[in-house]
Amino acid sequence: MDFTFTEEQQAAVEAARAVFSDVAPDRAPSPALTPGAVAEDIDRQLWHELARTDLLGLTLSPDHGGGGLDPIALCLVLRESAKVLARVPLLESCAVAMAIQRYGARTFAAELLPRAGRGELILTVGANGRSGHDPAELAVSARPYGVGDGETDESPGGSGWVLDGVQSAVPWAQAADWIAVPAHTAGGRPVLALVPRTRDGVTLADQVSTSGERLAEVRLDAVRVEARELIDAAGCWDWLRSLLTTGTCALALGLGERVLAMTAEYTGKREQFGFPVATFQAVAVQAADRYIDLRAMEATLWQAAWRISTDAGGPLPTAGDVAVAKIWASDGVRRVVQTAQHLHGGFGADTDYPLHRYHAWAKQIELSLGPAAAHEEALGDLLAARPLG
């Protein structure tokens, strides 16, 4: 595999670095010192800057005013965003926009996506279901207008659908204009509904993430959506969930790289017995182990992003590579922040120093869209179903 990035992808990284260079991880209050959420809204200043530099439309087609790049480019930008703990729904909004572009109705995409690329609309997605353990699409039912419970007619007849259910821990839902909701039909077929946050029957209850950001429990009580607002194309939800998971791995990589850099800087200056602690073998070995974790996280991330971007075949479905990437990302980012805390000593818990913020975000990322154990189980099922010769 060729890991060389294109000129366009490298340009996206440079643009992202320029935007995020002015962002401090302590722009919001510390989650350790704040009861409830650290802020009521996303970082609007940063969101507008991302729109101004065309990074929100990076992966949209030129027909929709975008840059026409692929999920690899999105992951590169997400990697940079995590280094400063950017408080914006960059992953969720871009991923949902890409799913609409790939699978949605053309007229609906043409209406929605240019505004999303300009930052005028914010998109998010409920990917955790009711509890975070069962498939998200099982938490919400979708039936055509006029079809009662137990009936199997799955044709909307051009009139629309009715949604009932709950999606928990929806990121940035209070700030979003549209929420992508995975659901299932009476026949068990997964679909993806695009629901305006203010639609009748939609209620939001505040929840708070480990990192101190606002989440929401989104409850849908007989919520009606138009036929064009529901995507029933085969594979849509699976593709979107794979993209969200891979993007989460990119966030883990960026955060881990920044934490290891902070650790190297600290141990290079902190002295014991007249020498920097970075020169001690025990410290150097632990840092080297975490560097290896990051390189493994990087290799598996680009493998998964490449499979999603190219639809390339392989011995396992794309979901297998995504699972491997998430296993490394979940375990790797946890080990990186734990080692960083250890090598920083008590200084790592000082709320005037940003490491505790990275630790909280790392824990949120580790468990987002399934911890390592859940993806190990999924990978095992794939291997059992497709023995490798």
End position of a domain, from candidates 121, 155, 170:
121
End position of a domain, from candidates 121, 154, 170:
121
Same domain, 269 and 283: yes
Within-domain flag for 320: yes
Within-domain flag for 1: no
Within-domain flag for 319: yes
Same domain, 343 and 309: yes
Same domain, 186 and 64: no
Same domain, 247 and 323: yes
Q: Supply the pLDDT for residue 2.
A: 65
Within-domain flag for 279: yes
Q: Which CATH number goes with the domain that contains 338? A: 1.20.140.10
Within-domain flag for 2: no
Same domain, 190 and 315: no
Q: Which CATH number goes with the domain that contains 137? A: 2.40.110.10
Same domain, 353 and 222: no
Same domain, 175 and 256: no
Within-domain flag for 134: yes
Same domain, 215 and 268: no
End position of a domain, from candidates 74, 90, 121:
121
* Rounded Cα gap, residues 239 and 9, in angstroms: 21
Same domain, 250 and 330: yes
Same domain, 254 and 381: yes
Within-domain flag for 266: yes
Same domain, 113 and 134: no
pTM of the model: 0.95
Same domain, 164 and 113: no
Q: Supply the pLDDT for residue 60.
A: 98
- Our count of domains for the chain comes to 3
Q: Which CATH number goes with the domain that contains 83? A: 1.10.540.10
One digit per residue, pLDDT tens: the chain, 389 residues? 566 899 999 999 999 999 999 999 999 999 999 999 999 999 999 999 999 999 999 999 999 999 999 999 999 999 999 999 999 999 999 999 999 999 999 999 999 999 999 999 999 999 999 988 889 999 999 999 865 544 444 554 557 999 999 999 999 999 999 999 999 999 999 999 999 999 999 999 999 999 999 999 999 999 999 999 999 999 999 999 999 999 999 999 999 999 999 999 998 888 688 888 887 889 899 999 999 999 999 999 999 999 999 999 888 999 999 999 999 999 999 999 999 999 998 788 889 899 999 999 999 999 999 999 999 999 999 999 987 66
Parent domain of 354: 236-385
